[in-house]
């Protein structure tokens, strides 16, 4: 049975087929072509089948988000399917899942490769979204270091002093700095390569969101996460669906004047941190 006879559909590309990314895609992909990319063939098979059984038009491709060539092949595949109107990047590793080197290479450099690659294939009027983290607000990077980051080619990021001398000290610092770099990567792209394509790109910085992978963090540092929940005005965690609602807005027609910025969605954790109502431990 042919469910959809339409041709030349707009393309939605998702890098990282986890629960948050798939929740976002479900909000925006009806009647469009979906390309899912992930390093896990099993995850792609499971998620792709779930989308198909829900009436979506899906293709999948194994992508190693650490490798430039693999990411570029993913972007080229997306462009071959039709006009790439949406790109969402959720690929990453959290502090209790990986060593500093892996976090820097995946969350920072790999994200940079993806922003660069899709900056060459986005269709006019298209929109991109990088999933960052509230952790981006937890370690202030000096202005001179931020300028170096903005002006560095993706391949050179690991050579910068802030990365070599600070991020590599431990996984927590690596994660905080990598996620702040995501903001700067989106800003640079919005002003340069994506601007040339007449496309937009923004970031979202979620707070404590319950996903299957988040339980690794909860199990490793339950007390720290409980303290953040209790210090927030919301006094609760959030779901992937709440992030997806905000993401659909940033990617959609009502946000066409929003470009190169970050939306912090954390229930008030960073507000409590900045006002001294809450202090990070360690």
Instruction: Spot the catalytic one: 32, 56, 175, 279.
Output: 175
Instruction: Write out pLDDT tens, residues 201-249.
Output: 999 999 999 887 778 778 877 888 899 899 999 999 999 999 999 999 9
Task: Tell the burial category of 245 from Cβ atoms under 10 Å away from its Cβ (0-12, 13-18, 19+).
Answer: middle
104, 174 contact by CB (below 8 A): yes
Under 8 Å between Cβ of 174 and 103: yes
pLDDT at position 213: 75
Question: Is residue 30 within 8 Å of residue 56, measured between CB atoms?
Answer: yes
Catalytic residue, candidates 32, 42, 179, 215 = 179
The percentage of the chain sitting over the pLDDT mark of 70, rounded to a whole number, equals: 99
114-133 pLDDT tens trace: 999 999 999 999 999 999 99
Name the H helices within the chain. Answer: 19-28, 41-53, 68-81, 100-103, 111-118, 143-151, 161, 171-191, 193-196, 214-220, 222-231, 240-251, 269-274
* Cα torsion through 9, 13, 18, 24, rounded to 10: -60
In this predicted structure, what is the pLDDT of residue 52?
Answer: 96
Angle between helices 143-151 and 171-191 (to 10 degrees): 60
From CA 252, how far away is CA 109, in angstroms rounded? 27
Confidence at residue 250, expressed as pLDDT on a 0 to 100 scale: 98
CB of 246 closer than 8 Å to CB of 265: yes
In order of their start, the domains of the chain are 11-210+240-267 (3.40.50.720)
Question: Could you tell me if 206 and 131 are in contact, meaning their C-beta atoms sit under 8 angstroms apart?
Answer: yes
Instruction: Name residues of the chain where pLDDT drops below 70.
Output: 1, 282
What is the DSSP annotation of 224-268?
Answer: HHHHHHHHSSS-S-EEHHHHHHHHHHHHSGGGTT--S-EEEESTT
Annotated catalytic residue 179: yes
Is 113 marked active-site?
no
Residues forming beta bridges with residue 60, ordered by sequence position: 36
**Looking at residue 282, what is its pLDDT?**
60
């Amino acid at each position: 049975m042919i469910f959809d006879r339409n041709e030349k559909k707009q393309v939605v590309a998702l890098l990282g087929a986890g629960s948050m990314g798939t929740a976002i895609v479900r909000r925006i992909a009806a009647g469009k072509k979906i390309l899912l990319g992930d390093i896990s063939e099993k995850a792609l098979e499971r998620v792709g089948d779930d989308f198909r059984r829900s009436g979506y038009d899906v293709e999948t491709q194994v992508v190693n988000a650490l490798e430039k060539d693999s990411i570029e092949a993913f972007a080229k595949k997306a462009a071959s399917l039709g006009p790439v109107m949406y790109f969402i990047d959720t690929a990453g590793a959290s502090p209790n899942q990986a060593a500093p080197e892996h976090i820097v290479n995946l969350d920072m450099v790999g994200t940079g490769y993806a922003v660069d690659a899709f900056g060459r294939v986005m269709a006019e009027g298209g929109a991109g979204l990088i999933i960052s983290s509230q952790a981006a607000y937890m370690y202030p990077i000096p202005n001179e270091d931020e300028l170096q980051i903005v002006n560095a080619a993706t391949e050179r990021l690991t050579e910068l002093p802030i990365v070599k001398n600070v991020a590599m000290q431990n996984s927590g610092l690596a994660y905080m700095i990598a996620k702040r770099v995501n903001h700067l990567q989106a800003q640079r792209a919005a002003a340069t390569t994506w601007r040339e394509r007449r496309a937009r790109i923004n970031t979202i910085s979620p707070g404590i969101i319950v996903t299957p992978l988040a339980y690794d963090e909860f199990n490793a540092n339950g007390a720290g996460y409980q303290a953040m929940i209790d210090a927030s005005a919301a006094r609760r965690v959030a779901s992937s669906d709440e992030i997806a609602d905000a993401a659909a807005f940033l990617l959609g027609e009502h946000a066409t004047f929003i470009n190169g910025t970050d939306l912090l969605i954390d229930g008030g954790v960073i507000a409590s941190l900045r006002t001294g109502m809450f202090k990070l431990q360690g």
